[in-house]
Amino acid sequence: MLDYVIGKYNFWIYAVLMMIGLYAMMGKKNLVKKLIGMNIFQSAIILFYISTGVKTGGATVPILMGHAQEHGHQAIDVAGYLNPLPHVLMLTAIVVSIATTGVALAIIILIYRRYNTLEENEILKIRKDTGV
């Protein structure tokens, strides 16, 4: 049981990072700090998916070794290569995360131009005082 817990330490680190990001998104008042928390949250999830593709026992990067043309009809030894499916999925996730970050930063700049502050409680107070 202890061996099982320690052997999967990558998943524990993933959970800790995800909770750090969630705390920053919910507990911090500054909008840029919330966005930094969202970035940490997203890369924690990517870390989880990459960790599921890892194989122990000498598995290498999924590039076909040897003479693929000559032995094309033979079965490929799957245990010798890492699982490339989570890698490909997470490539898309990285690009999506940078796109959402760009849109959020644009919205933050617009909020700063209108309210002249980035603190969430001050923005809510200004909105309440002016009755908007």
Partner 1 sequence: MIWQLDLILCIFVIICAIAAITIKDLLAAVIILGAYSFFMCLLWTEMGAVDVAFTEASVGAGVGTVLFIAAVSKTKRRSKD
- Residues in the site for partner 1, rule: CB under 8 A? 9-10, 13, 16-17, 20-21, 23-24, 28-30, 32-33, 35-37, 39-40, 43, 46-47, 50-51, 53-54, 56, 59-61, 82, 86-88, 90-91, 94-95, 97-98, 101-102, 105, 108-109, 112, 117-119
Nearest residue (CB) to partner 1, 56 versus 69: 56
Q: Among residues 58, 39, 55, 53, which one has the least CA distance to residue 101?
A: 39
Please provide the DSSP assignment of 84-123 as one string: -HHHHHHHHHHHHHHHHHHHHHHHHHHHHHHHS--BHHHH
Q: Minimum CB separation from partner 1 for residue 3, in Å?
A: 13
Backbone angles phi and psi of 63, in degrees to 5? -120, 130
Q: Minimum CB separation from partner 1 for residue 10, in Å?
A: 7
